[in-house]
Structure 1
Amino acid sequence: MRNIASKFFKRIHLRELCGNSIRSKKEKGNFEAECQKLWASKPMVWKYPQTERDSDTALEHVYVDMQTQDGLTKSEMLLTGSHSNMFRCYEVGYAKWDGIKGEESVPDLLQSLEIETETTSLQSPGPIWSECVFSMDSSISNISIPKKYYPQATDVDSSVPHALMTTLGSETSGGSVWLINLRGPLDRFDAGSLGRGMDEIFSLKSRIWSADSYSDGSRAVVGTNIGAALIDIETKRRRRICRSESDVISLQLDRSEKLVLCGLKSGAIVMVDTRQKCDKEWFGVMGNVHVPSPVSCLVALKHDDYFLAGSMDGTIRLYDHRLTQRGAVQLYEGNVNSHTRIQMGVDPSERFLMSGGEDFYLRMWSINSGEMLYEDKFMNAVPSVLCWPRGDPECNRRPQNHFPGAWLGSGEGLFYVDTS
């Protein structure tokens, strides 16, 4: 009976992860997916000079509406955070906003496609412009944006109104939660003097390791060294949703936004019901997973039943919420890590998983099969944070230099990995 059940669940996972597939004599797959894997395995890599130490702890790509001489214009921005306490905004593309006097960084091509076709283009993804920089009192631990504003095909307004940023804190002070207004001007300022657009909504006595924003931007959850808390952005009130003796170093809301996945330094992954009141111990736990090392990153997939977990021993696993007691559904092997908090990324189609390693390599896997598609070293630093642009739904307004690749941050600076 156990073997039958195991085969049954394996077929369910195969259908849910792979969808409609065709079977050849050699292996299972489909033509479109195989072509996408082929292109993803031969990326173009671009490096942005003079961006060192800007983006080794947090990185987000957003669309914003800005007023220019031509009227309201949709622009792309990169929000970066670092161990050196710096938060910086970059504008992406060839056209600067009116009045910007920031420094320009033009990318250099490091690697090009090995597949030569008539459609292969070595067009640069464009320069980035340093718009503003903020010096905080401790390192930046997280940057997140409301999921409602992740551009989708049916979105009318995909411009992000604000971003949430958290600072880790130090041995003498706790971390803070900041709201960054992206629809108004952000002032440049010297260290210790905050300008317009930055609002500290909460300061804690504990360290803040991780955070995630609700889709409407009204609330957020944060992970600390004593548990997790729910924060109301408008009222600036907080409510503890769980307590823990182990640090919550990674955290992710599920798609329903009723449950939150918490990854602990002890190696445990627990699901907490945010609607329940916090007791002295974990409250509202729906399931438990234990791995050998701290859980440094969690990603909930669009399919509500699946999530990815990356741990500091280098392993990355795919789990099914319904069957956590049976262990991982898929294992992604080959990554190298021992103690670094590395943020893995998933492309918008959720076909590919990308992560850096302590050996300075960047790797990419097929989420469905677990096959490693790409492995290479092109920097002398840990590729510690990355994000994929969500895509502009208004294709007629999309800049010609827009590429569906990933932004990558490290102590060596910003990179762009074009997988198209």
Structure 2
Amino acid sequence: MPQDLPGFYYDAEKNRYFPIKGPIPGTSRPRIPSASSQNPLSNSTQPAKSLRTGERTSKLLQVRELNGNVLSLTKGKRKFKEEFQKKLVSQPVVLKYQGTRHRADAALQPIHVKLNTSTGQREIDAVLAGSINGTLSLFGVGKVGQHFDTGINFLPDRVGPRVKENKAESYKEAEHIWIPEGASILMSSRVSSIKLPRKYSSCELDDGFNCRRTVVTTLGSGTPGGAIYVLSLDDPFEFPPGLFSIRQRMTSVASFNCTIWTADCNSSASEAVVGTNRGAAMVNLETGSTSWVCCGKSDVFAQQLNESGKVILCGLRNGAIVTVDVRERPQGSARRLIRHRIPYSPLRKTVQNSNKQWFELSGNICPSRTAFMPSSITSLVSLRFYDQYFLASAMDGSVMLYDHRLSKRGPIQSYEGHANSHTLLQLAVDQSERFVMAGGEDCNLRIWSIKSGELLFQEKVSDSAPSTVSWRLVERPLGNPDEKQSQNELQFAESLRWEAWFGSVDGLYHMGWP
């Protein structure tokens, strides 16, 4: 057994030691709260009014000319590029599309689709959206749809008050959306999730990546349980005059006799994992065969597969976040899974009507790596550039950053101001992994800096909670995967065109930065 070394942890799979660093490499570690602490790491509940977000961009440029690329601010020295990006992200243009009510309040995913037109084949941006009433819709983005005789065009209204009219008008024209005939269908029940393979959703697009499939799940209602489907995007849509029907591209993979709350799929879109009221199950998307990997009495509300597809993060109704290793799966019944008694953390004991000191869970899990939040988990997002870190949100409004290696010590960063009490509200992280966004029950949309925890944007943009959020896919690949991580991150950030989509009961919204 390898011995413990101060400041290092041992990775058995890689058979080597790694240093334990701060929450984001290159930064100092913030104070780690005790497990019983309910105090946030940051007390800011309003967007910062310092030089970063309160002054004009020209002021930042002037300071850089005088002091170089390292700025001396009230909270210490900061890099000019980071501060400039924070300033930009705090001033978006927000558009609402008329006629999209009840179209995108359950699930949302920006995608690319191929389209055959009279002038040849082209790839266009699109948004696949699901609703609580079971409607699944594919919206085309851009001016292409203006030239077609069939379908519906949706007009945008600017609802973001922080941007000048001339900028909003030019952006409004660029972000026209439309829905062709046959691109909206009614599913068997509420759409509970829409997921792309993580490689595709992170936009590492290249000619060698030919798996263009989207996983769609339904919640289930009454006796009929949830179901999992695959929507094929490989073949181009014929339009006009051919059919744009998405029903013909939908394949039913598997049905369950339980509720499906969430789902995720691996990078090759060969397998998916679903979170249900019975636990978590892996589904082969080719054969439909199912194997349970985690079972318990607490619903799995949130899930995240890691890059390798070998480990699943599961967020439970009881506030636990467990790590499930799926490399070895028992054949046959879920009863063959290893049973664990996991003690609740002090955080969980503060919740009313929770007198138990432990709960039972079956699966190939490591109880010592279980993290807890004060209430039910609503969303989980693993960071790709820093694969030991993940973001989690809970129904009490908590948004936290965790380190897998230090999960028992609690969160290493918090993000204040979020409002939630009972809703499965989503988190979304931009492709450069600098910012995290979430909508709240107070109808506000918020954006934080992942690194510093600063609240950069907070605005009431809807009359109902923005329950679905997603950053838009970028158009250029990350670069040579053999290069150093920091260089990859820099290239990815430079290729990024910030755009985001979010939805509420009131309709579909677009957020952009001209």
TM-score, scaled relative to structure 2: 0.73
**What is the distance in 2 between the residues matched to 1:270 and 1:385?**
24
Letter aligned with residue 410 of structure 1: S
Structural mapping, 1:76-115, within 5 Å: 76-96=125-145, 101-111=150-160, 113-114=162-163
What secondary structure, in the 3-state scheme, does the structure 2 residue paired with 1:251 have?
strand
Give the structure 2 partner of residue 290 of structure 1: 372
Structural mapping, 1:273-352, within 5 Å: 273-278=325-330, 279=337, 281=339, 282-286=362-366, 287-302=369-384, 303-352=386-435
**What is the distance in 1 between the residues matched to 2:192 and 2:122?**
30
User: Structure 1 pair 268/153, CA: closer, same or farther in 2 (3 Å)?
Assistant: closer
Letter aligned with residue 135 of structure 1: L
Q: CA deviation at 1:183?
A: 3.2
8 Å Cα contact 1:64/1:159 also seen in 2:
no
Letter aligned with residue 362 of structure 1: L
User: Structure 1 pair 16/219, CA: closer, same or farther in 2 (3 Å)?
Assistant: farther
User: Structure 1 pair 391/285, CA: closer, same or farther in 2 (3 Å)?
Assistant: same
**What is the distance in 2 between the residues matched to 1:104 and 1:25?**
47
1:249-272 deviation per Cα after TM superposition (whole angstroms, max 9, x unaligned)? 110101222100000011000000
Percent identity over the alignment is 36
8 Å Cα contact 2:102/2:504 also seen in 1:
yes
8 Å Cα contact 2:145/2:153 also seen in 1:
no
User: Structure 1 pair 153/219, CA: closer, same or farther in 2 (3 Å)?
Assistant: closer
Give the structure 2 partner of residue 40 of structure 1: 89
1:368-413 deviation per Cα after TM superposition (whole angstroms, max 9, x unaligned)? 010101111121010000111121128xxxxxxx962110111000
Residues 1:175 and 2:255 are matched in the alignment: no
Greater shift in the superposed pair: 30-39 or 153-162 = 153-162
Greater shift in the superposed pair: 307-316 or 158-167 = 158-167
**What is the distance in 1 between the residues matched to 2:175 and 2:107?**
21
**What is the distance in 1 between the residues matched to 2:142 and 2:73?**
47
8 Å Cα contact 1:63/1:160 also seen in 2:
no
**What is the distance in 2 between the residues matched to 1:109 and 1:159?**
37
**What is the distance in 2 between the residues matched to 1:159 and 1:313?**
41
The partner residue of 2:207 within 148, 152, 156 is 156
Give the structure 2 partner of residue 411 of structure 1: 505
Give the structure 2 partner of residue 123 of structure 1: 171
Letter aligned with residue 56 of structure 1: D
1:53-102 deviation per Cα after TM superposition (whole angstroms, max 9, x unaligned)? 00001000011222222222111110001111111111111013996721
Give the structure 2 partner of residue 225 of structure 1: 277
**What is the distance in 2 between the residues matched to 1:366 and 1:25?**
17
Give the structure 2 partner of residue 399 of structure 1: none
What secondary structure, in the 3-state scheme, does the structure 1 residue paired with 2:82 have?
helix
**What is the distance in 2 between the residues matched to 1:295 and 1:385?**
15
Q: CA deviation at 1:285?
A: 1.5
Give the structure 2 partner of residue 383 of structure 1: 466
8 Å Cα contact 1:146/1:216 also seen in 2:
yes
Letter aligned with residue 453 of structure 2: G
The partner residue of 2:324 within 259, 266, 272 is 272
Give the structure 2 partner of residue 52 of structure 1: 101
Q: CA deviation at 1:155?
A: 2.6
What secondary structure, in the 3-state scheme, does the structure 2 residue paired with 1:42 have?
coil
Structural mapping, 1:3-14, within 5 Å: 12-14=22-24
Give the structure 2 partner of residue 24 of structure 1: 72
Quick check: which one's helix share is greater? Answer: 2
Greater shift in the superposed pair: 100-109 or 130-139 = 100-109
**What is the distance in 1 between the residues matched to 2:80 and 2:164?**
17
Letter aligned with residue 324 of structure 2: V
Q: CA deviation at 1:348?
A: 0.8
**What is the distance in 1 between the residues matched to 2:157 and 2:264?**
33
User: Structure 1 pair 32/142, CA: closer, same or farther in 2 (3 Å)?
Assistant: same
Name the larger-Rg structure. 2
Q: Give structure 1 regions of 4+ aligned residues with deviation exceeding 6 angstroms.
A: 97-100, 118-121
Letter aligned with residue 199 of structure 2: K
8 Å Cα contact 1:151/1:158 also seen in 2:
no
What secondary structure, in the 3-state scheme, does the structure 1 residue paired with 2:23 have?
helix
**What is the distance in 1 between the residues matched to 2:262 and 2:445?**
23
TM-score, scaled relative to structure 1: 0.88
Unaligned runs of 5+ in 2: 1-5, 8-18, 30-68, 331-336, 340-361, 478-495
1:307-332 deviation per Cα after TM superposition (whole angstroms, max 9, x unaligned)? 00010111100000111011101001
Letter aligned with residue 146 of structure 1: P
Number of aligned residue pairs: give it: 403
Give the structure 2 partner of residue 367 of structure 1: 450
**What is the distance in 2 between the residues matched to 1:209 and 1:153?**
28
The partner residue of 1:135 within 181, 186, 190 is 186
8 Å Cα contact 2:319/2:375 also seen in 1:
yes
**What is the distance in 2 between the residues matched to 1:317 and 1:252?**
15
Q: CA deviation at 1:154?
A: 6.8
The partner residue of 2:268 within 213, 216, 237 is 216
Q: CA deviation at 1:10?
A: 9.0
The partner residue of 1:75 within 112, 124, 144 is 124
